Structure formats: structure tokens, C-alpha cells
Amino acid sequence: MYDFTYARVSSVADAAKQLKGDDDAKAVAGGMTLIPTLKLRLAKPSALVDLGGVKDLAGIKVDGKTVTIGAMTTHGAVAASAEVKKAIPALAHLAAHIGDPAVRNRGTIGGSVANNDPAADYPAGVLALGATIVTNERQIAADDFFKGMFETALKPGELITAISFPVPEKAAYMKFPNPASRYAMVGVFVAKTAGGVRVAVTGAAPSVFRQKDMEAALTKKWAPDAIEGIKQKQDGLNSDIHASAEYRAHLVGVMAKRAVQAAG
Ligand SMILES: Cc1cc2nc3c(=O)[nH]c(=O)nc-3n(C[C@H](O)[C@H](O)[C@H](O)COP(=O)(O)OP(=O)(O)OC[C@H]3O[C@@H](n4cnc5c(N)ncnc54)[C@H](O)[C@@H]3O)c2cc1C
């Protein structure tokens, strides 16, 4: 690790103050990604601002047709939440299949979404459900948030405080996990929402994306066979030691059909 200063804050305002004016300062949430990155000397932050003591940032609220999850809520808490299981079971299922118990007990929804790892699960749920990312400065629609590999619309020092999910009519998430890490080789989240059908794919490309051909077909007919003939293009998909672009393209179709089947 390189040297850095460390501050544990107790409010979002304090955190924002510590981060302001220093583009090399970083917030730390669960530390599941950031700490290994520091250990490997892949990042050299000047300061770490620990959000662990900001009580307001953790928790789940259900208000009518909206589920709002605080940024510091762990994957384990989302997976175990009776309210999330009732309102958006697909989201609880997604959280329950992230990594291993240690990762689920430390990793947070805010950290996962801010990090925008190409193989992370939450970005698929956030995009398919048409969620809103709430920060200490503004509200950002999911469609405007994910910009590219590890890149989001967040400005330096801007903090996610919560994510609001509209409750869908139907939804499901299916992933083909990397057997070592459980990250998604390909994961597909399908949702029938008040704003229409949305299909989001993670793991396959440098960043999560919507599969518009499948959305159009599922809008006409919500059934696995409606997307039977739709082939995901290989162009721009990831090819690495885990899977080729061709294999990932094939998995998009398989996972999408399984997700529609599971959504019912
Ligand atoms: C072994 C292993 C297996 C994993 N498997 C999976 C998996 O199967 N699926 C999956 O989706 N993920 C997986 N993960 C990732 C994990 O789930 C965490 O979500 C992820 O590491 C980031 O969350 P965190 O709370 O640990 O964030 P941190 O590591 O603390 O931070 C990550 C980044 O987000 C920024 N950040 C954190 N919180 C905020 C905030 N509120 N506002 C703005 N920026 C913020 C930090 O500055 C940093 O840049 C795995 C991780 C490990 C180590």
C-alpha cells in the first residue's frame, strides 16, 4: 500500500467536506474492492474517508410502490430483507448470489454501483428496474448513470446516498457465475415495469447494457419463446480467460430465457 490519511466520519456532510477539493481522496464503504486494489498498489488515494460510521446511509424503506435502499446497506441485509423479498424478490435473489458470505456481509449496494465493475450484479438490477441513484447533490436515472467500464456519472467527491427502485410487475435475474469469484460471466435481469419491459445484461461487455431487441420482443409477448430467435451480437463483448465473446453472446440468450421463465 501507499501512504494515505484516514478519516472516519459520522455524516454525509462531513464525508463530502473531507472529499471536497481533493480528487485523489476516496470514500471507502465495505472495502471489498477498494482495499484489495490498494494492497495491489493499483490505486494511490491521498485520503480514505470511511462511510462505516454514517448510520443514515444504511437501511431499507418501502413506501408504496418504491423500495429505497441506503448506500451502506450490505448485500446480506438486502438478501435477508423480508420487505425486499416481498416487493422485489428478484433483487433479494440477486443480492443473495453475490460473492460469498464474507463479501455479502461487508460489500454494499452503494460501493457496488459506484464501482460499476463490468461483471457486478447490481448494475443489471438497477438498470432493468429503471432505478434512481440518489446522491448528496442530485438524482440520476439509471439510464444516465453507467458510462463505461468502472465509469459512472458520479463527479469527484459525489456520494451515493441511496438507490430507489420502483416495484415492477414482474422481474427476475439469472446469472452464469464465474465458479471462482461468483461474479457474473453473464447475468440478465428482466423486468416488466410501469415504464415498459426492460432487459439489462451484465458481465458480457465492458459495462452493463440494455438488450433492446429482447425488450421489443418481450413487449409483444412476455414468454421465453418470444426471444428464442434473438441472437446477441458478439461485437464489443468481452473475451478473456474465462469465456470468449461468442460464448458470452450465447449465454445472454440462455440467461434471458431463464429469467423470463423465472419471472413467470
Ligand atoms: C471475492 C469477491 C467476490 C465478489 N463477488 C461478487 C459478485 O459475485 N457479484 C458482484 O456484484 N460483486 C462481487 N464482488 C464485489 C462486492 O460485492 C462489492 O460490492 C464491491 O466490492 C464494492 O462494494 P464495497 O462496499 O466493498 O465498496 P468499496 O470497495 O469500499 O468501494 C468501491 C468503490 O466505490 C466507491 N464508493 C463506495 N461507496 C460509495 C458511495 N456511497 N458513493 C460514492 N462512491 C462510493 C469507493 O470510493 C470505491 O471507488 C466481489 C468481491 C470480492 C472481493
Q: Give the CATH number for residue 5.
A: 3.30.43.10
Does 32 lie in the same domain as 125?
A: no
Does 25 lie in the same domain as 87?
A: no
Please name which of 201, 195, 193, 194 lies closest in space to residue 227, comparing C-alpha atoms.
201
Give me the mean pLDDT over the 78-106 stretch.
98
pLDDT one-digit tens code per residue, 56-67: 999 999 998 999
Does 62 lie in the same domain as 44?
A: no
pLDDT one-digit tens code per residue, 176-194: 999 999 999 999 999 999 9
Q: Which of 53, 75, 95 is the last residue of a domain?
A: 53
Does 125 lie in the same domain as 29?
A: no
Does 136 lie in the same domain as 5?
A: no
Average pLDDT along the chain? 97
Task: Tell me which residue has its CA closest to atom 23 in ligand 1.
Answer: 111
Does 188 lie in the same domain as 149?
A: yes
Q: Is the confidence at residue 209, as pLDDT, over 90?
A: yes
The whole domain housing 186 covers 58-263
Give me the mean pLDDT over the 84-109 stretch.
98
In b/e form, how buried is each residue of 95-117, taking b as 16+ CB within 10 angstroms?
bebbbeeebbebbbbbbbbbbbb
For residue 93, give the CATH number of its domain.
3.30.465.10
**How many other C-beta atoms lie within 10 A of the C-beta of residue 92?**
20
Query: Given the CA of residue 183, which atom of ligand 1 is nearest to it?
Result: 8
Q: How far is residue 200 CA from its own chain's centroid?
A: 11
Strand ranges inside 115-183, DSSP E: 132-135, 139-141, 146-148, 151-152, 160-166, 170-177
Query: Given the CA of residue 109, which atom of ligand 1 is nearest to it?
Result: 19
Number of structural domains found in the chain:
2
Contacts of 154 (CB under 8 A, 6+ apart): 114, 135, 160
Overall residue count recorded for the chain in this entry? 264
Does 106 lie in the same domain as 215?
A: yes
The answer, yes or no, to whether any atom of ligand 1 lies below 6 A from the CB of 224, is no
Give me the mean pLDDT over the 12-20 stretch.
96
Does 165 lie in the same domain as 79?
A: yes
Q: What is the pTM of this model?
A: 0.97
Please name which of 189, 165, 191, 223 lies closest in space to residue 94, comparing C-alpha atoms.
189
Does 89 lie in the same domain as 30?
A: no
Q: What is the DSSP letter of 154?
A: P
Q: What percent of the chain has pLDDT over 90?
A: 99
| Cα 135 to ligand 1 centre (Å) | 17
Phi, psi of 239 (to 5 degrees): -125, 120
Does 29 lie in the same domain as 65?
A: no
CA distances from 203 to 52, 63, 181 (A): 28, 31, 13
The answer, yes or no, to whether any atom of ligand 1 lies below 6 A from the CB of 125, is no
Q: Give the span between the Cα atoms of 204 and 248, in whole angstroms.
A: 6
Does 239 lie in the same domain as 121?
A: yes
Q: What's the pLDDT at 1?
A: 85
Q: Give the span between the Cα atoms of 177 and 179, in whole angstroms.
A: 6
Residue type, 143: D
Q: What's the pLDDT at 15?
A: 97
Q: What's the pLDDT at 172?
A: 98
Give me the mean pLDDT over the 110-134 stretch.
98
Q: Which of 29, 53, 77 is the last residue of a domain?
A: 53
Does 246 lie in the same domain as 231?
A: yes
The answer, yes or no, to whether any atom of ligand 1 lies below 6 A from the CB of 120, is yes
| Cα 32 to ligand 1 centre (Å) | 5
